[in-house]
Structure 1
Amino acid sequence: MEQANPRHPVALIVGVTGMAGVALTEALNNPTALGGPWTVYGVSRRPIPAWFPSSLLDRHVILDALNKKQTRTILAPLSSQITHVFWVALQVNESEEVNISLNSAMLTNVLDVLTGSADSKLCHVTLQTGTKQYMGPIFDPILSTQIIPHDPPFIEDYPRLPFPNFYYALEDILASKYSLTYSAHRASIIIGASTRSYFNLVLNLAVYALVYALVCKRENYPFRYIGNKYTWEHFWDMSDARVLAEQQIWASVTDKAKNGAFNCTNGDVVTWKMIWKVLCDVFGVEFVEFDENEKFDVAEFMKDKGEVWERIVEENGLYETKMEEITCFGALEMVLKLEIQHVCSMNKSREFGFHGYANTLKSIPEWVHKMRQMKILPP
């Protein structure tokens, strides 16, 4: 299997309008990007939104990767050009078995086309997954009641949990079905900018803070933390989308990293109490200590606030979004009520030569500022 580095690498970012896709698009266009200069193609299910830096794409294609025929028609002409696939696409369902079916079908459909021709140039796939690798299907309503997560800090060589997991399925497809190299990148909670990601933590919390400031602040209604005492006090880590992009590019052109899995976090730890203070400062709301005696259901609180968000969008001339399309407060609340220290080890990455990092408490306001520039959030 020849793995010579191509002289003119062509990247295909599948899921280009999500948080990781935006960061990858910008990182691959950086003159100092490893392996470059890169030609960058992007795939998304819908047209490029106005906030996306479309000038940085050499080509964009609209594609439903679940549609096998459409995938072949659109991608077959590109199979002689694309050298690297950056897989940051995602289909989300409560049932993990459905997640396995949908996400496996998308990955297989795309790679079957890109590897199926005699003049195929594809040599490497980077696969983005996450810490469900170590925690199991935490959103599955049935399986989530049975799983016992690994002890933190999460380490890449932990054995797989005995539960279905679409992350496992995708890694198995890459490891066994295709004669090319791959790398898996296990992100923590991603901090980035997009209205198209299933779970944009900062955007969810920004919407909550902005709605609160408009309808509750004057009534002395506290800006309540939406998790539990455990997460308020214990350590968590996060993944700046820029660090994730940097690691994926590094692995795609570094021989030592081929066919390996790597955690990808900012390299520091924070508590949610620390994060909440930052959010209060960024959005100009008063910080209050968490009171475990005060019960608060953010999904219930926000369920009738769609018109308030529409008002914020209209009055500030923002990119048009519906609150229910850019937030998932039920999932957010569930994550922030876990009773586990959500921390990954970055030792393997460092030992292999990747030293990217970010200051989480500085990263959050930076991404808020970027979403303000993109007119996703008001100034």
Structure 2
Amino acid sequence: MSERTVLIAGASGVIGQSAVQRFAAAGWRVIAVSRRAPDVSADTPFQHLPLDLLDSARCRAAAGEFGGVTHVVYAALYEKPGLYAGWFEQDQMDTNLTMMRNLMEPLIAAATGLRHVSVFQGTKAYGAHVHQIALPARERSARDPHANFYWLQEDFLRERRAEADWSLTIWRPQVVFGGATGVAMNIVPVIGAYAAIQRELGQPLIYPGRPGGVAEAVDADLIADALLWAGEAEAARDETFNITNGDVFTWADTWPAIASALNMEPAFGEPFSLVDYLRQHEGVWDDLVRRQGLRATPLPELLGESHHYADLLFGVNAPADAARAAVLVSTIKLRQAGFGECIDTEEMFAKWLWRLAERKVIPAA
């Protein structure tokens, strides 16, 4: 087989970083496209292209690097400050489409050997952010009639896919967890920073959210394994797949396992905002970073917009008398197609918290 070269857009993000590691470990040539270099093991071989996907001229100028690309993992994402409100705003949707166009148009023209493209959606594809979804949500459902950049990007790729030799796989992961910091939607560093501050204050790990809300998680490493599989699997060609860890969880029921991984005692009380809590305790974080020799990462830089995502997932701002809706998707289609890997969600949380401690992003438990 000729050399396989994967271009990973959004390589510093929660999915992108795991994908860089996994593809490189599997012997692929990896081109990582992101403004920041992905924070991966020092011995991981990859080429970093520091592109801003909103700069169309720079993307066109980089086309000379795209000629050998055989596979694309498009995991780049634009989110507005505060996160949630932007999901309903047309300019946020248009920006995400522009980013994809700026990269993919010169890439498709240059990469004459392109074979496969993976792109990401999520449970917003089923309208999970606007209404109760069918349980479980299935890929064969009709497109949910709400405005979303998913549909803009999908239509663009399907138009380019017509009569082309490459195939397309669309992924709809549940809530993704990984090791990336400073991103829009990865609450592992949020939990790690919150726990470190609570420990510094001599407090237990108090659950900040409301009860209920049955959901599913997905490990970024598991997604990376699925991307590797899809890159060569005939059964993945021009398909859409939900992907999860394989189990279900609620935050309250999983909280003791998260506390145990951090060597802390769990506790429960009234819901409160981690956005507010972390803003109020930036000084505590700065002090413990200096004293414990952690990476010199200011709290806003560590969190990105993910503390807003944490408040959303924990149901902090939901009406107190409102039941928290379950969000569950079926992964039967993906398993029947040939990818059946899974991971225990409680073990996943422990893994990523330990890895952040190993990298001195958060204190060791």
The alignment status of 1:192 with 2:153, answered yes or no, reads no
CA apart distance, 1:216: 4.9
What residue in structure 2 maps to residue 141 of structure 1? Answer: none
Distance 2:186 2:131 in 1: 26
> Aligned in 2, Cα 1:295/1:239: closer, same or farther, shift over 3 Å?
closer
CA apart distance, 1:77: 0.7
SS at match of 2:206: coil
Which of residues 3, 12, 21 in structure 2 aligns to 1:17? 12
Q: Residues 224-257 of structure 1: CA distance to partner in whole angstroms, max 9, x if unpaired?
A: 32221223xxx32100111101111211211121
Which of residues 77, 84, 105 in structure 2 aligns to 1:90? 77
Q: Residues 297-318 of structure 1: CA distance to partner in whole angstroms, max 9, x if unpaired?
A: 3322222211211222222222
The alignment status of 1:73 with 2:61, answered yes or no, reads yes
Contact 1:224–1:296 under 8 Å retained in 2: no
State the AA in 2 paired with 1:331. Y
Contact 1:79–1:121 under 8 Å retained in 2: no
Q: Residues 260-308 of structure 1: CA distance to partner in whole angstroms, max 9, x if unpaired?
A: 11011111112222321012112233222x44xx353332222221121
Contact 1:240–1:266 under 8 Å retained in 2: yes
Distance 2:248 2:363 in 1: 29
Consecutive unaligned residues in structure 2, runs of 5 or more: 319-323
SS at match of 1:198: coil
SS at match of 2:200: helix
What residue in structure 2 maps to residue 296 of structure 1? Answer: 272
Distance 1:344 1:202 in 2: 22
What residue in structure 1 maps to residue 116 of structure 2? Answer: 124
State the AA in 2 paired with 1:343. L
Which of residues 140, 149, 172 in structure 2 aligns to 1:157? 140
What is the 5 A alignment of 1:25-64?
Answer: 25-30=20-25, 33=26, 37-46=27-36, 48=37, 51-64=39-52
What residue in structure 1 maps to residue 321 of structure 2? Answer: none
What residue in structure 2 maps to residue 319 of structure 1? Answer: 295
Distance 2:296 2:253 in 1: 31
What is the 5 A alignment of 1:132-211?
Answer: 132-136=124-128, 138=129, 147-178=130-161, 179=164, 180-211=166-197
State the AA in 2 paired with 1:128. F
Contact 1:183–1:251 under 8 Å retained in 2: yes
State the AA in 2 paired with 1:9. R
Q: Residues 58-77 of structure 1: CA distance to partner in whole angstroms, max 9, x if unpaired?
A: 31110001110011112x11
Distance 1:283 1:298 in 2: 18
CA apart distance, 1:149: 3.2
Distance 1:108 1:374 in 2: 35
Contact 1:80–1:120 under 8 Å retained in 2: yes
The alignment status of 1:353 with 2:338, answered yes or no, reads yes
Distance 1:29 1:300 in 2: 39
> Aligned in 2, Cα 1:355/1:317: closer, same or farther, shift over 3 Å?
same
What residue in structure 1 maps to residue 263 of structure 2? Answer: 284
Distance 1:12 1:153 in 2: 33
> Aligned in 2, Cα 1:54/1:18: closer, same or farther, shift over 3 Å?
farther
Distance 2:66 2:193 in 1: 41
Distance 2:149 2:76 in 1: 13
Consecutive unaligned residues in structure 1, runs of 5 or more: 1-5, 139-146
Distance 1:345 1:224 in 2: 32
Distance 1:176 1:323 in 2: 42
Which of residues 94, 103, 106 in structure 2 aligns to 1:110? 103
State the AA in 2 paired with 1:313. V
Distance 1:170 1:201 in 2: 25
The two structures have a TM-score, normalised by structure 2, of 0.89
Q: Residues 339-379 of structure 1: CA distance to partner in whole angstroms, max 9, x if unpaired?
A: 22122211000111111111111111111111112221222
Distance 2:70 2:223 in 1: 20
What residue in structure 2 maps to residue 226 of structure 1? Answer: 208
Contact 1:263–1:344 under 8 Å retained in 2: yes
Identity of aligned residues (%): 26
Contact 1:203–1:326 under 8 Å retained in 2: yes
Distance 2:219 2:308 in 1: 23
How many residues matched? 346
Once superposed, what is the RMSD of the aligned Cα atoms?
1.9
Distance 1:148 1:128 in 2: 21
